[in-house]
A and B are shown apart, each in its own frame.
Chain A
Amino acid sequence: AQSVSQHNHHVILSEAASLELGCNYSYGGTVNLFWYVQYPGQHLQLLLKYFSGDPLVKGIKGFEAEFIKSKFSFNLRKPSVQWSDTAEYFCAVSRSNDYKLSFGAGTTVTVRA
């Protein structure tokens, strides 16, 4: 079975600090990788995705993620967070062209003004 691990359950930062959230998966084949964000009171929305090509992908709101195949990782980064980045972040993985998508447990990010 495929599993997705997010290393941090809760991260607390000050504004302008850098953010990195870890994500590792267990499946060894070709995968599609996603980061979703859930702002307080809102529905889940796509932050960025990786299917193929450049392993460094840019998403919305200044986020980026790097796919390192040898480490089975897809870590999310943002150089300078804002208070509005307070949210829950989910990493998700599916096999290429497989309809099933597996999610990590999520990381709650709290940014203090």
Chain B
Amino acid sequence: DGGITQSPKYLFRKEGQNVTLSCEQNLNHDAMYWYRQDPGQGLRLIYYSQIVNDFQKGDIAEGYSVSREKKESFPLTVTSAQKNPTAFYLCASRLTGSQPQHFGDGTRLSIL
């Protein structure tokens, strides 16, 4: 079945460590996205990528980094510069700008 796979489902990080969240899609979608979901704040866009080797900052990019070396993969690194990283992270993809997004199941990141 086609879809978006996020791993791991749960992730724990020590303060001061960088951590990378994986997102893979086999939908052949051009665009991929990372969102952060916090209670009462909805989904806030961290980064998005329209094509391979290109990405743009979203609304809350500080403390995060991404890469898009392959069409199917869009990993997100939460760096030690992110002061409040505990959240639920969602990856999404979209065929074109006029199509709806498809979402993965999410990764819940917690700080030890």
Whether a CB of chain B sits under 8 angstroms from the CB of A94 is: yes
Q: Check if A90 sits within 8 Å of B42, measured CB to CB.
A: yes
Residues of chain B within 8 A of A67, CB atoms compared: none
For A34, the chain B residues whose CB sits under 8 A away are: 100-101
Interface size on B (CB < 8 Å)?
A: 26
Kindly report which residue of chain B lies nearest to residue A42, judged by CB atoms: B105
Total A-B pairs in contact (CB under 8 Å)?
A: 58
Complex Cα distance, B39 from A9, in Å, reads 10
Q: How far is the CA of A51 from the CA of B40 in the complex (A)?
A: 27
Question: How many of chain A's residues have a CB under 8 angstroms from any CB in B?
Answer: 27
Given contacts A43-B105, A44-B90, A45-B103, contact A99 B40 (CB under 8 A): no
Q: Give the residue name and chain of the A residue nearest to B98 (CB).
A: A97
> Are the C-beta atoms of A44 and B103 separated by less than 8 Å?
yes
In the complex, A106→B88 CA distance in Å? 15
Docked complex: A39-84 residues within 8 A CB-CB of B: 43-46, 49, 51
Interface check A22, CB cutoff 8 A: no
* Contact digits for A83-113, partner B, Cβ 8 Å, 1 yes 0 no: 0000000101010111111111110000000
Contact B94 A99 (CB under 8 A): yes
